[in-house]
């Protein structure tokens, strides 16, 4: 579903490496570690388990979210448990789904580590991938 757009984008860059799909075990570990995971993210991970550029692997999603939520170095920021981080921009900033009381929202925000802002970037994963492939984010 998403892989074709990402593969086409990757052809233009020698730095993007499409990783093999995440296994069912890796997906289950992600759910066990972080709880609710949006279905579109599960679909993406079953197509590519990260791309060594923007998208994190299932293992990296767990590690990054746990780090942002529990590492004392991040106590200087507003709580980051309101985002389910799944991608980064390579500069210390992360993209994540908004987590609300009602559950995970499809909207995706960029968290900027320099000013602790959260900026809306996409209305869902498909929109995020389209913007990524068009070099808009």
Interval 1-14: pLDDT, tens: 666 767 766 666 66
> Model's pTM, two decimal places?
0.90
Mean residue pLDDT across the chain: 89
CATH of 3-133, one of 3.40.1580.10, 2.60.40.10, 3.30.1490.190, 1.20.1050.10: 3.40.1580.10
Contact at 8 Å (CB) between 49 and 57?
yes
Contact at 8 Å (CB) between 53 and 17?
yes
- Helix 58-70 × helix 24-34 angle, to 10°: 10
Closest CA to 99 of 110, 111, 85: 85
Percentage of the chain surpassing pLDDT 90? 61
Go through the chain and tell me how many residues it has.
137
What does the pLDDT read at residue 75? 82
What does the pLDDT read at residue 52? 79
Q: Where are the domains of the chain?
A: 3-133
Question: Could you report how far apart the first and last alpha carbons of the chain are, in Å?
Answer: 20
């Amino acid at each position: 579903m998403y892989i074709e757009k990402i593969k086409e984008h990757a052809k233009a860059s020698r730095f993007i490496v499409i990783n093999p799909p995440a296994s069912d075990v890796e997906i289950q570990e992600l759910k066990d570690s972080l709880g609710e995971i949006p279905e579109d993210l599960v679909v993406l991970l079953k197509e590519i388990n990260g791309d060594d550029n923007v998208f994190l692997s299932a293992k990296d999603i767990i590690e990054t979210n746990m780090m942002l939520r529990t590492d004392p170095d991040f106590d200087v920021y507003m709580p980051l448990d309101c985002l389910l981080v799944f991608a980064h921009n390579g500069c210390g900033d992360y993209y994540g789904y908004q987590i609300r009381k009602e559950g995970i929202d499809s909207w995706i925000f960029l968290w900027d580590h320099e000013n602790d802002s959260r900026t809306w970037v996409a209305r869902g994963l498909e929109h995020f991938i389209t913007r990524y492939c068009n070099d808009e984010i």
